[in-house]
Structure 1
């Protein structure tokens, strides 16, 4: 190609490229002005709700399990069908309702302002120390100490009893992973050695459960630190009972150590002699009466109220 023709051709392509770039920029700016993001899928409805001038959000494990649904990859996946109403989480939600109603009924705290709420069914284990970062989570408010303190206290407890060679199992989420990381750092400073630290979640395949069983059977430590939530723990001890894996000293977190469902769960003999940490109880005037009077829930989310009634009394609820 002659030099002049090549120069003209290059210039023509540069002009076309510049025009295309300008067109893309105009289209990009026009699109960004319309909407930055959009909702994918259907919006999830809250389990409990109430309108107000200020809306508080709540997340609780209202259900312990769900129905497994196979995806065909042809149509959009259907929402999870949750089952097994969790009464413990239900009581936690009632505590939040009680606090909000106490404020709404007061003439001194927020006069002229009504608080509302939207409570959803995901996890409420908000003890993770990561949530104390106000830069990342400026609107998150704690009602319970972070696991920074619990993890260090567990290490001090292990040191107190002279256990220097221990194993650990943790929930494979922020609660378990971050909590165990803090425990490990503190334990190392106190001269405590960790033989193993295994992740676990109740939806793990059988192979992962078998790996945990084989690791514990082949270990020499007899003390197990269980940094687990109560739902993962319930599944795990049933698996341990199936293998008759007893004779270990369990050290537990507040996530399961005082849970009433764990105390009566299948295989609970595995946990005989367990020790751990729990949040100090306090008497809140009027809270018990509020929890026993479930009728107000009928106006806060009819679906959950009906499910509670049917689960508690083993009958079908009809509204007259």
Structure 2
């Protein structure tokens, strides 16, 4: 039977490393015993210890390539069997050196513990493969784990070697891309005995972070943990890389108050049927030619075979010790990767062996000879290997030589005995469908607080609903202030980056976390203010009619005759309409009501003030016409009054018709004037036309006031001009006050202000012009005589 050799790169004699070596031997013996894998082919192995030294790694590589007792470059001493491939090394730095050499000759190299992403470069390392995922997957997974728990403020620790530095760059980049921030990134200096632990602990102590990601081996992280224990720095959540996530060294009881609650990525373990039985069968007496068996036994049971050393320590190995307790606690994660490495090369050799001439992958469909194949030929089959290791795990390599990235998520918890245990609480599988790479059992977690509540790690407390995050200049974007959403905007989630604008017909509630329909506002008949104004307007409109009835009943009396009965009646009717036009401003602003409001107001008021102006002019003409030889007598007739009144009303009518023709008023939903309210108003459409209409009324009132003021000294015991003067003065005062009040009012108050001005100014005319006459007619009838009216007032002599 042909014998092929597998070379194995080893660090130093440690329990874990010796266990890995036994896994390799176990796998080789298992394959040799299988009839379905490499039949009639016996695998052999040679083991070389690099002692974690780069020089020895280079020497060992050259020695394995030379095949003899000396290392001779570019020379191969072919013995009875060929070198199939090399398994190792465990360290990335040494594997990089070995891969640079082996890549020149295209020798397959399969590592079980080298995780540096640098080794995925196929241009530099064309023949390198590994059964452990690249740190690139782990780094992304660690960042995803941080994001999963909502930690946005984290610290980073990493050793100053390839493993730590490459890993920390990827982790930092992924954490920032996920929306979190890195508070600090410190290096563990492996060149220093204390690993600069005091400085690192000082940085951690000063920082507000509660979560620290550590990419380091357990031995390099140990001084930092010792310093944390010394300074009593507790309450931190440690996120562990696979190098120390299952460390027995850091799982000691004295570290539990520091490290309990730790979560991390661990190498995914697999089953090796029969390996536990294989380990339990080990005994130094059965392996006399194995130089490591006795030392392994001594380290496991803390005893000595040598009598002198045993007497000194008072612990002598008897050989009756049982490995059962060790096997129960043993971690076979790395061991399983070694086992998988052996099977990788075995299945590649199996594919090479099963090649059929004419169907092979090489030139002209050729196949390689199992007895004399070239390294590059086996390399082809290693690239395309695909086999099942256990019931569900498959091993294959991508175009970078990396296997599927599968990690166990472990949580450091206190067991029933009070000791720390690494409990599997989830899994990370890079080949899972997008978005399902991380699967966690939240109920299985136990944190350093003693419960399952996820700890908090943020630079600032979360911004509640109704607030948005605002970055603070000069600080990371995770450090922010919580500002209330601007007016009209909401945020219905915590830590909102920006607020959302409510739709035009909606408005935020008091806490600004949801939009509610805006309140619709207009002066309605159901509103107390609307009811009050409508009642006042209706009652007020009856007063001029009552006065007209009084005048009608006393129409033959001198005081009624002297006040131009027909013009007074027309004035009283117009004043009644002035009061009633206020009702048009109350109620829902429909299009036809908007057209009628201001135009109706302008027309009835222009009619009223025109009547007042006509009365004023008639009073002046009447008294001037009494002078001998004057020609004004012919202008004292009723036609002049109606002409003046008609001309004044015609001008206002022209203004209103022009307004309605070119820019008619229309209903409008005003959402700007008052927050959270839709004010339904009648938009004048043309402010110029509106103020021209109001200004014209002011002009008529001013003319009436001026004419009446000039005629106030006319000799008469009951001078009509005096009352017109007072009425116009009151009228103008109301409307002058109306202008600033109207411009400053909002919503229904604007309409109410105009109604108040309409009613007030109408009352001013009614009271000042007609109340004195009614008082005399009703309560002083003795003064309602021609003699009293013609009596001269001594004051005006």
Alignment TM-score, normalising by the size of structure 2: 0.29
Matched, 1:131 2:119: yes
CA RMSD of aligned residues (A): 2.7
C-alpha spacing 1:102/1:207, structure 2 compared with 1 (3 Å) = closer
Q: Tell me if 1:91 matches 2:24.
A: no
Whole-angstrom CA distance in 2 between matches of 1:231 and 1:265? 17
> Structure 2 matches for 1:120-159, cutoff 5 A?
120=49, 121-122=51-52, 123-124=90-91, 125-159=113-147
Q: Determine the C-alpha separation between the residues in 2 that align with 1:61 and 1:292.
A: 22
Structure 2 counterpart of 1:232: 220
Q: Partners in 2 of 1:281 and 1:55 — Cα distance?
A: 23
Report the equivalent of 2:8. Answer: 57
Q: State the alpha-carbon separation in 2 of the partners of residues 94 and 242 from structure 1.
A: 39
Q: What is the CA-CA distance between 1:147 and the residue it aligns to?
A: 1.0
Instruction: Give the alignment partner of residue 176 of structure 1, picking from 159, 164, 175.
Output: 164
Contact 1:223–1:250 (Cα < 8 Å) also in 2: yes
Q: Which has the larger radius of gyration?
A: 2
Residues 1-320 of structure 1: pairs in structure 2 closer than 5 A? 53-60=4-11, 62=13, 86-110=14-38, 111-120=40-49, 121-122=51-52, 123-124=90-91, 125-201=113-189, 204-206=192-194, 208-264=196-252, 266-295=254-283, 298=287, 301-302=290-291, 304-317=292-305
- 3-state secondary structure, aligned to 1:262: coil
> 3-state SS of the aligned residue for 1:278?
strand
Counterpart secondary structure, 1:126: coil
SS of the equivalent of 1:95 reads helix
Change (3 A) 1:188 1:259: same
Structure 1 segments of 4 or more deviating over 6 A? none
In structure 1, list runs of 5 or more residues that go unmatched: 1-51, 63-85
TM-score with structure 1 length normalisation?
A: 0.68
> Which has the larger displacement, 117-126 or 271-280?
117-126
Q: Does the C-alpha gap of structure 1 residues 172 and 268 become closer, same or farther in structure 2, counting only changes over 3 Å? A: farther
Contact 1:171 1:228 in 2 (8 A): yes
Per-residue CA deviations over 1:18-38 (Å, capped at 9, x if unaligned) read xxxxxxxxxxxxxxxxxxxxx
Distance 1:136 1:305, change over 3 A: farther
Once residues 236 and 207 of structure 1 are traced to their aligned partners in structure 2, the CA distance between those partners, rounded to angstroms, is: 7
CA distance in 2, matches of 1:181, 1:300: 47
Please state how far the C-alpha of 1:308 moved relative to its aligned partner: 1.1
Report the number of matched residues. 245
Separation in structure 1 between the aligned mates of residue 12 and residue 172 of structure 2, nearest angstrom: 28
Measure, in 2, the Cα distance between the counterparts of 1:227 and 1:158.
Answer: 14
Is contact 1:238–1:266 with CA below 8 Å preserved after alignment?
no
- Contact 1:309-1:317 at 8 Å conserved across structures: no
Please state how far the C-alpha of 1:301 moved relative to its aligned partner: 4.2
SS of 1:261's equivalent in the other structure is: coil
Shift of residue 281, structure 1, vs aligned partner? 2.6
